[in-house]
Amino acid sequence: MDRPWTLDETAHAGPEHLDAGFVAGFDRKQGYPDPAGDLAVFAAHGLGGTSTIADLGAGTGTFALAAARRFGHVTAVDVSPAMVEFLTDRAAEAGVRNLDCVRAGFLSYEHRGPLLDGAYTRHALHQLPDFWKAVALDRLARMLRPGGVLLLRDLIYDFAPAEAEEIFARWLDGAADDPTRGYTREDYAEHIRTEHSTFRWLLEPMLTRAGFEIVGVEFRGSLYGAYTCVKR
DSSP 118-164: EEEEES-GGGS-HHHHHHHHHHHHHHEEEEEEEEEEEE-B-S-GGGH
Q: Which one, of 15, 11, 210, lies nearest residue 108 by Cα?
A: 11
DSSP helix/strand/coil, 117: strand
User: Quick check: 1 pLDDT over 70?
Assistant: no
- Model pLDDT, residue 114: 97
Confidence (pLDDT) at 2: 63
- Report pLDDT digits (tens) over 85-134: 999 999 999 999 999 999 999 999 999 999 999 999 999 999 999 999 99
* pLDDT tens digits for range 146-197: 999 999 999 999 999 999 999 999 999 999 999 989 999 999 999 999 999 9
- How much of the chain, in percent, has pLDDT values that exceed 70? 99
The Cα 175–Cα 169 span in angstroms is: 10
| pTM of the shown model | 0.96
pLDDT at residue 203 tops 90 = yes
Residue range 192-215: mean pLDDT, rounded: 98
pLDDT digits (tens, 9 = 90+) for 9-68: 999 888 889 899 999 999 999 999 999 999 999 999 999 999 999 999 999 999 999 999
Give dist(CA 222, CA 152) in Å, integer: 16
pLDDT at 25: 94
